[in-house]
Amino acid sequence: MQSTAAKRYAAALYELAAETNNASDINRQLALLAQVWEENEVLRQFLTNPRCSLAEKKELITHLAQEARLHQFVVNTLFLMLEKGRITILPAVSRSYTEYDDQSNNRVRGHCRSATSLGTGERKLLEQVLTKLSKASEVILTVETDASLMAGFILSYRGVTVDGSLSGSLGRLHRQMLESSHNN
Question: Is the four-CA dihedral 56, 60, 63, 69 of positive or negative sign?
Answer: negative
User: What whole-number distance in Å separates Cα of residue 141 and Cα of residue 108?
Assistant: 8
pLDDT tens-digit map of 137-156 = 888 888 999 888 778 888 88
pLDDT tens-digit map of 63-106 = 999 999 999 999 999 999 999 999 999 999 999 999 999 999 89
User: What whole-number distance in Å separates Cα of residue 32 and Cα of residue 37?
Assistant: 9
Cβ within 8 Å of residue 13, ≥6 positions away: 26, 30, 73, 74, 77, 93, 97
pLDDT band of 168, cuts 50, 70, 90? low
Going from the N-terminus, what domains does the chain have, and what CATH number goes with each? 2-103 (1.10.520.20), 106-183 (no CATH)
pLDDT tens-digit map of 3-51 = 899 999 999 999 999 999 999 999 999 999 999 999 999 999 999 999 9
Cβ within 8 Å of residue 173, ≥6 positions away: none
Cβ within 8 Å of residue 178, ≥6 positions away: none
Quick one: DSSP state of residue 118?
P
For helices 54-68 and 72-83, the axis angle rounded to 10 degrees is 160
Quick one: DSSP state of residue 1?
-
Q: 65 - beta bridge partners?
A: none
